[in-house]
Structure 1
Amino acid sequence: MLKKVHCVRLDGDKAELEDEIAEEVPLVIFVNGKHFSTAMISPQMREEFVTGHLFTEGIIDGPVDIESLKVESNTAKVLTRHSTTFLESRKVILSGCGSTSSFLDKKKLPKICSNLMLDRTMVLNAMKAVLRSDNFKRSGGFHSCGLFNESGAIIVVDDIGRHNALDKVIGFGLIRNLDLKDTFIATTGRISSDVALKCARANIPVIASKGAVTTLAVEIAENSGLTTAGFVRGNKMNIYSGGRIN
């Protein structure tokens, strides 16, 4: 995930040195022989990313819909058990962009079904776990995202893109048949509309971020039953939607 490269540091004096930076690779995804998208990701957990990404983009309803998934080098080839339709090739999804969706019908938003209730301490501790990322400390080039339950961390993932990291933890949960209605997300990335929608589609009832929350994310969250918490720092947080954190 990290590679050493040569650089010149200017800090009063001029010095040549080796620095560790985040590795970024393309992953070309084909679904039933048709190009679906090319995503720029960190190279680990490619199968989890593809599974989570296809699920949160509405191409599959779960891993059971995948007949085969083969990742070779920078190409992922997926065959589904049923025919799939998507309007057009998504071309290139940059590391900072999660999807090409630009229109949301409130009537078609997924509704979260969960009885999960969290004490704020659980959320604060989850954020502390996410912020312990060694990769971020060494390079400053990653977002971290964790999937948690009431017992603690299930998995924490680093990726150059916040959407990628979320797709990877969702894919991890789907592949292992975890009941996502009993889980929550802690992330370093802001909660935008597509991030909120990914959680709603996965039936994950709570997402907390070190960063900000956008207006459309709050609107989606309120209509789908998602609890959103932003600026989770120290012992503080702002709750923008939902009532699952006490």
Structure 2
Amino acid sequence: MPPSVRPIADPALTPRMTDARAPMLREIEILDEYGARRRIHIPAERPLTVFVDKREIVTLMTLGASPEMLVLGYLRNQRLVPDLAAVESITVDWDVGAAAVRTREGIADIEQRTARRVVTTGCGQGTVFGDLMDQVGALRLPGPELARIRQGTLAGLLEVIRQQDSIHRKAGSVHGCALFRGTELLCFVEDVGRHNAIDTIAGWMWLHGVDGADKVFYTTGRLTSEMVMKAAHMGVPIVVSRNGVTHMGHELATRLGMTLFGRAANKHFLCYCGAERFDSEPLPEPASVRVVAGG
């Protein structure tokens, strides 16, 4: 936990949790195009079935870097529990590939609330429950006067990500998500799907009482409606992606007054919406290339 993150206000209301981390890489032998056999690392994807008060909710495909935070963030982003104090414990057992969540008072109407699932465009088939989009009107994010980002800060943030040691560099095949305050990296998570990575960060924020109003969320994945919605539920108004944005993601972010940056790498970016939060510091136009006849 970074020293800038405040401790939990009331430890008595903090869920009891295991620390069941699993190895994130596996070594295998491959045959390459030159006929050479060699050993490489690949991400260690594994299933984690979540049970809430002994009721099976969902199976998540994950690397298992921080499964308790993933489950906590999933509960938060699905709005299955009202607050942190509602969760008594989260126990992860990799021998059976299960996470057992115990709540203090149960979840009212859990059968009806989890009956309507929507399989999203997320890697590994992210899942949201059908009534979440109906909650968008209740979300309130800080205005442009309170939450802003300078172009220089955006460039600095992207440089921090570029230098981050990652599973992707070693093995590929994963998505990364990060939470920033300015150019300070607060939390970085990689998983087989961007939904798992954002849910893990949401759980980390919830557990440590981190507010999203002055933060920036970064993802390597595309900005679909469900990714935008999860960032909004986390209270983060500025989202940056190395990838692009879908029509529904753009529409939802515009409706919520969020700022979306896509195709962001090095000093390049596209601001898709929410430019009123952005303090532009334009780069000089590249010199045009003159074509000399006969050259």
TM-score, normalised to structure 2, is 0.76
Tell me the distance in 1 between the aligned counterparts of 2:87 and 2:197.
21
| Paired amino acid for 1:26 | P
Aligned length, in residue pairs: 244
Per-residue CA shift, 1:78-107, capped at 9, x if unaligned?
122343222338699984332244673376
**Paired residues of 2:116 and 2:130 also in contact (CA < 8 A):** no
Structure 2 partner of 1:49: 70
Match 1:99 to one of 127, 136, 144: 127
Structure 2 partner of 1:120: 151
Q: Which one has the bigger strand percentage? A: 1
Match 1:75 to one of 92, 98, 120: 98
Match 1:63 to one of 76, 84, 89: 84
Per-residue CA shift, 1:163-219, capped at 9, x if unaligned?
111111111111111112121111111111100000111111111001001111111
Tell me the distance in 1 between the aligned counterparts of 2:238 and 2:193.
20
User: Any residues of structure 2 matched to 1:140-159 within 5 Å, and which?
Assistant: 140-150=172-182, 152-159=184-191
Per-residue CA shift, 1:5-37, capped at 9, x if unaligned?
111112xx2111111111101111001111010
Per-residue CA shift, 1:110-154, capped at 9, x if unaligned?
222352211122222222323334311111121111101125110
Tell me the distance in 1 between the aligned counterparts of 2:140 and 2:119.
30
Structure 1 partner of 2:197: 165
- After superposition, the Cα gap between the structure-2 partners of 1:82 and 1:122, relative to the gap in structure 1 and judged at 3 Å, is farther
CA RMSD of aligned residues (A): 2.3
Match 1:245 to one of 275, 278, 282: 278
Match 1:189 to one of 208, 221, 224: 221
Structure 2 partner of 1:204: 236
Tell me the distance in 1 between the aligned counterparts of 2:50 and 2:117.
10
Tell me the distance in 2 between the aligned counterparts of 1:213 and 1:90.
23
Structure 2 partner of 1:35: 56
Tell me the distance in 2 between the aligned counterparts of 1:24 and 1:122.
34
Range that drifts further, 197-206 or 106-115: 106-115
- What SS does the corresponding residue of 2:248 show, helix, strand or coil? helix
Range that drifts further, 133-142 or 103-112: 103-112
Which is greater in Rg? 2
- What SS does the corresponding residue of 2:196 show, helix, strand or coil? helix
Tell me the distance in 2 between the aligned counterparts of 1:128 and 1:190.
19
Q: Any stretches of 5+ residues in structure 1 without a counterpart?
A: none
**Paired residues of 1:28 and 1:35 also in contact (CA < 8 A):** yes
TM-score, normalised to structure 1, is 0.90
- What SS does the corresponding residue of 2:277 show, helix, strand or coil? coil
Tell me the distance in 2 between the aligned counterparts of 1:139 and 1:107.
37
Q: Identity across aligned pairs (percent)? A: 25
Tell me the distance in 2 between the aligned counterparts of 1:68 and 1:51.
10
Tell me the distance in 1 between the aligned counterparts of 2:127 and 2:30.
33
**Paired residues of 2:260 and 2:273 also in contact (CA < 8 A):** yes
1:87 matched to 2:122? The reply is no
- How much does 1:239 deviate? 1.3
Tell me the distance in 1 between the aligned counterparts of 2:168 and 2:155.
19
- What SS does the corresponding residue of 2:209 show, helix, strand or coil? coil
**Paired residues of 2:237 and 2:258 also in contact (CA < 8 A):** yes
Range that drifts further, 95-104 or 199-208: 95-104
- After superposition, the Cα gap between the structure-2 partners of 1:127 and 1:187, relative to the gap in structure 1 and judged at 3 Å, is farther
| Paired amino acid for 2:85 | V
